[in-house]
A and B are shown apart, each in its own frame.
Chain A
Amino acid sequence: MDRRTVLKGITAAGTLAATGKLAAPAVAQGAKVLKFVPQANLANFDPIWGTQYVVRNASQLVWDTLYGMDSGLQAKRQMVESEEVSADGLTWTFKLRDGLKFHDGEKVLAKDVVASIGRWEVRDAMGQMLKAIQKELVAVDDRTFKWVLSKPYPKILLALGKVGTPCCFIMPERIAKTDPFKQIEEYVGSGPMKFVRADWKPGALAAFEKFKDYVPRNEPSNWWSGGKAVSFDRIEWVIMPDPATASAALQNGEIDWWEAPLTDLVPVLKRNRNIKVDIADPLGNIGSFRLNHMHPPFNNIKARQAVQAALSQEDYMRAVVGSDDKLWKPIPSFFTPGTPLYTEAGGEPLKGKRDYELAKKLLQEAGYSGQPVTCVVAQDQAPLKAMGEITADLLKKIGMTVDFVATDWGTVGQRRASKNLPGQGGWGMFHTWHAGSDCASPVGYIALRASGEKAWFGWPDNAEIEKDIAAWYDAKSIDEEKAIVGRINKASMEHVTYIPTGFYYGYQAWRTSLDGVGNGPLPWFWGPKKA
């Protein structure tokens, strides 16, 4: 028996004597509880309104999806029992599995699905594409819905099963009718866990309880597909903003699983025989040097190419992940290594020895005359802070003047939306990163778009890239997709849409008393069980 237990026993006896009753337990005796520390605060719980990854990760427990992605990045049936598509590719008919129920006891009906898709497609890029070609989306009967399009959309199942946010979560019709730009106020789904609203303390704790009427598919689970049988009665998401505290709590057994330990703390965790550490997401992340194509100096392609010629992905990645070589790799590509569409076509500018002299020459040709490059760098995001410091040094080495704006992510978010000149509240460059799951294909890869004023922050403008992205959505075979992605990669490298600063992984850590922790773009709660 350890010291804490003895101390507790003595005081409990005293308390019992003093109060005449035992303290009421918060959770039923014998209940299996998993304590998980997520990557970020779960500040809201509407996966359509708030598209942060942490919201999606929690939402997968409460809301089910029509399709789910497996480890081969294929969309597999989840709530859907079967689907049919007409010969012309214009009419899709989906049938739901029998026995699906919401947490309030009501059956999941096709009309709920229709409303949920309607809400999702307003906010999602692929959803918007579908909405633009949608002629009809109706419930045919309680378990069947029909989707009629004006032109074929081969990626429809991918749209419904992708992990990129916002995902097409299915809600009761009354909730799904909420304006997509306003938050839902009820959290009823048909997923394996129910959200315990009464225990929710945003920023501190979110709790989920097992939904006894959930019927998992009769298949082994594989990422977001297959049978989602959760072995825990209760899952608690314990928000811990301080990584040192989370590390200590994991070592002390006060939590079971930590989604994203700080790289600096991983050696301490690895030395603890009660803790396992492994790569969290095999799809990793791609760092980004995002340039402003709208204003000088980076409105000139030669200035962009100058930075590209001098940029060393090794420098950036070592700053982000440290000396662990297993955690990063250089990528002369915009796409995720190890995925079917990965290509290095046109990646020569990021390969080989870095060339500062070429960079200086390109800057001269661009007519660069010393105007400051406003680097807006978030100091409260460790990878971005690290990348920002490398960038300041890099730009100075090639002869650029740096205006380093050290701020927080909230301000970066606001400032990067400004189309003003850098000296008037605008910006020259900022850093971010993209989840590898979002870069495995052009699906939802908004950072790759080059539609000028309508593009993502930075506003790159290249008709050729846009044409190829549109063509990819219409591609009918994997070979066709690969060829198109090769062209997109080459054109994006030449145009310097943005500069990938490297590919890196993050770790996850868990107690050895927890078996079955897998990896993936999200933490999966239907594999782990307590030993």
Chain B
Amino acid sequence: MLGYIVRRVLATIPVMAIVALFVFSLLYIAPGDPAVVIAGDQASLEDIERIRKGLGLDRPFLVRFAEWSLHVVRGDLGKSMFTGLPVTELIGQRIEPTLSLMVVTLILAVVVAVPMGVVAAWRAGSWLDRGFMAFAVAGFSVPVFVVGYLLAYVFALELDWLPVQGYTPLSRGLWPWLENLILPSIALGFVYIALIARITRATMLEVLSQDYIRTARAKGLGERAILFLHALKNAAVPIVTVIGIGVALLIGGAVVTESVFAIPGLGRLTIDAIVRRDYPVIQGIVLMFSFVYVLVNLMVDLIYTALDPRIRY
């Protein structure tokens, strides 16, 4: 097992190298010039050119890529062209809100969606099943920002139960932290709940039709034990896979949610960096997210071994 983990971690290196080359090349050929944005509307062409030189943007692609790669290998993601701050510092400032949002959304989604999918499968064809699946369709259909605006309007503006925007660090207390995350998590979790509920239902239906479930019923086991001890455990592998894949959905959705709820997370940092063409920040964030996603996939693979003893690496 340890050998497997080490092999998987080492395998991230070529993956990260490809991602690094891809994102660097994409930014190089994309239109837009950070020197123009920095110089402002009143600047002359000479000013823009001097700023471009000062930022090293006039150097050849390979020189810039080699220099950046060498720094990355040493853990230095460079400095933002706009703020002059280290990219690692910028990421460090923003990681807690995004992580908090993703964790709370993940917990909410799993806690709501898995039982929903189990019950829908158990009562397949009933009004309960149809109701849950209609909810799932709505979850896929309604954009995150629409859900966000509606939640903010109802629960913040009209009922004044929760704040409209912002983020409070956990160090300032559990409720202030949670208070700012409830609405964004529901908005972001909506599509995630829909996805997990549908997959859970589909896999549960397949498992519930198996012979061993019929045997369990024949032995006189209660429905709860059958559903959650036997069926769900056997249906868990695809569900966990989808949860893992859904982390990518969360990362993308966090961008919109953070803008709607003014959460100072990595999603907003990414958007700001893209709009400004702040290349080091974009590169650093994409690399970091790629690494996180690779790690998440590794964790999902390891969880399989806990769920299904037949799976061994």
Contact = CB atoms under 8 A, between A and B. Distances in A.
Interface in A229-267: 238-242, 244-246, 248-249, 251-252, 254
Contacts of A413: 32-33, 36-37
Contact of A252 (B41, B160, B259, B260): B160
A24 B264 contact: no
B287 interface: no
A2 interface: yes
User: Counting chain B CB atoms within 10 Å of each CB, which of A24, A254, A414, A432 scores highest?
Assistant: A414
A199 to B, nearest CB: 10
A212 B236 CA distance: 62
Interface stretch (B11-19, B81-89, B194-202): B81-89
Nearest to B41: A432
Interface string B38-67: 111111110110110110000000000000
A285 interface: no
B113 to A, nearest CB: 25
Contacts of A164: 42
Contacts of B277: 410
A49 B272 CA distance: 19
A526 B280 CA distance: 38
Contact of B268 (A18, A24, A204): A204
B174 A19 contact: yes
Given A43-B272, A181-B50, A254-B164, A205 B264 contact: yes
B268 to A, nearest CB: 6
A201 to B, nearest CB: 5
B252 interface: no
Given A202-B83, A245-B164, A248-B164, A15 B90 contact: no
A51 to B, nearest CB: 4
A185 interface: yes
Interface stretch (A3-11, A98-106, A396-404): A3-11
A7 B173 contact: no
Interface in B152-181: 152-153, 156-157, 159-166, 171-176, 178-179
B34 to A, nearest CB: 8
Nearest to B271: A241
A241 B268 contact: yes
Nearest to A432: B41
A11 B174 contact: yes
B161 A7 contact: yes
A179 interface: yes
A185 B84 contact: yes
A181 B53 CA distance: 9
B39 A252 contact: no
User: Counting chain A CB atoms within 10 Å of each CB, which of B84, B171, B178 scores highest?
Assistant: B84
Nearest to A125: B42
Nearest to A22: B173
A67 to B, nearest CB: 20
Contacts of A407: 31
Contact of A51 (B39, B152, B179, B264): B39
A12 interface: yes
B45 A238 contact: no
Nearest to B170: A23
Q: How big is chain B's contact interface, by range?
A: 35 or more
B94 interface: yes
A52 interface: yes
Nearest to B261: A245
Contacts of B103: none
Contacts of B38: 44, 49-50
A2 B158 CA distance: 12
Contacts of A240: 165, 262
A147 B118 CA distance: 82
A7 B272 CA distance: 35
A181 B54 contact: yes
B176 to A, nearest CB: 6
Given A44-B38, A245-B261, A417 B48 contact: yes
18 contacts: A4-B161, A4-B179, A8-B175, A23-B176, A26-B172, A203-B268, A204-B94, A204-B262, A205-B264, A238-B262, A248-B157, A248-B165, A408-B275, A410-B37, A411-B31, A417-B33, A417-B45, A446-B44
Given A2-B160, A165-B40, A249-B165, 20 more contacts: A12-B173, A15-B174, A44-B83, A51-B39, A51-B42, A52-B40, A125-B42, A165-B42, A245-B165, A245-B260, A245-B262, A246-B262, A248-B152, A248-B157, A254-B163, A254-B165, A410-B275, A411-B31, A413-B37, A444-B42
Interface of B: 31-34, 36-45, 47-48, 50-51, 53-54, 80, 82-85, 90, 93-94, 149, 152-153, 156-157, 159-166, 171-176, 178-179, 259-262, 264, 268-269, 271-272, 275-278
Closest 10 CB pairs of A and B: A23-B173, A204-B264, A11-B175, A51-B40, A413-B36, A414-B33, A410-B32, A248-B164, A203-B272, A43-B82
Interface of A: 2-4, 7-8, 11-12, 14-15, 18-19, 22-26, 41, 43-45, 49-52, 123, 125, 164-165, 179, 181-183, 185, 201-205, 238-242, 244-246, 248-249, 251-252, 254, 380, 407-411, 413-415, 417, 432, 438, 444, 446, 454, 456
